Amino acid sequence: MAKRNIITLPDPLLRRSSAPVERVDDELRTLIDDMLETMYDAPGVGLAAVQLAIPRRLIVMDVKYRNSDEEGGEVARAPIAMVNPEILTRSEEMRVHEEGCLSIPEFYAEVERPANITVRYLDREGKQCEMACGDVLATVVQHEVDHLNGKLFIDYISRLKRDRVIKKFVKAAKGEVVA
């Protein structure tokens, strides 16, 4: 396993749709492991392959992860990898959750999304699966699937706030002082 670099706003790759994964093999499983290591190290609860500059339809997440340094105990992990995830259903019931993104560091905003979803995907062995997701898991899956479609969580906030965030990251990328 190896940690990889996470691309950040304003990298244009974050706004492109990702291509489907054609086959689940050892190379893909290595990428999954690298993505998980990168996500845990960041630390985050989800990561899309496109955030590592690999525009393929692959996401990893772990909403139950607890860092042993913070909790004073063992590391608890429940990683999930989804290859070619497709959201099949979305509930009418909505849920507001504060979101952040490893590609937009140190910015958080409340986002409203469907409270429950059903997602179909291939697991790390290439087996087709369906999962009903609620609460935080539903939010994380939707956030990561949005990445695969070139959409960011800041697209759900007001245009004024979004423009300020983008401007800040564009200035930082140019090496300008950010206020």
pLDDT tens profile 6-49? 999 999 999 999 999 999 999 999 999 999 999 999 999 999 99
For residue 109, give Cα distances in angstroms to 14, 15, 73, 98, 157.
18, 19, 30, 5, 7
pLDDT tens, position by position, 139-178: 999 999 999 999 999 999 999 999 999 999 999 888 876 5
Specify the fold of 12-173: Peptide Deformylase (3.90.45)
The set of catalytic residues is 144
Return the pLDDT at 127.
Answer: 98
Please say if the pLDDT value at position 71 is more than 80. Answer: no
pLDDT tens, position by position, 124-135: 999 999 999 999
Alpha carbon 34 to its chain's center: 14
Residues 28-39 as b/e (b if ≥16 CB within 10 A, e otherwise) read beebbbbbbebb
Q: Note whether 111 and 151 are within 8 A (CB).
A: no
| Domain layout of the chain by residue ranges | 12-173
Place of tokens 């290591």: 37
Coil, helix or strand for 43? coil
Query: What does the angle CA 143 – CA 119 – CA 45 come to, to the nearest 5 degrees?
Result: 35
Closest by Cα among 145, 142, 89, 147 to 111: 142
Alpha carbon 86 to its chain's center: 14
Instruction: State the chain's mean pLDDT as an integer.
Output: 93
Helix (DSSP H) and strand (DSSP E) numbers for the chain? 4, 7
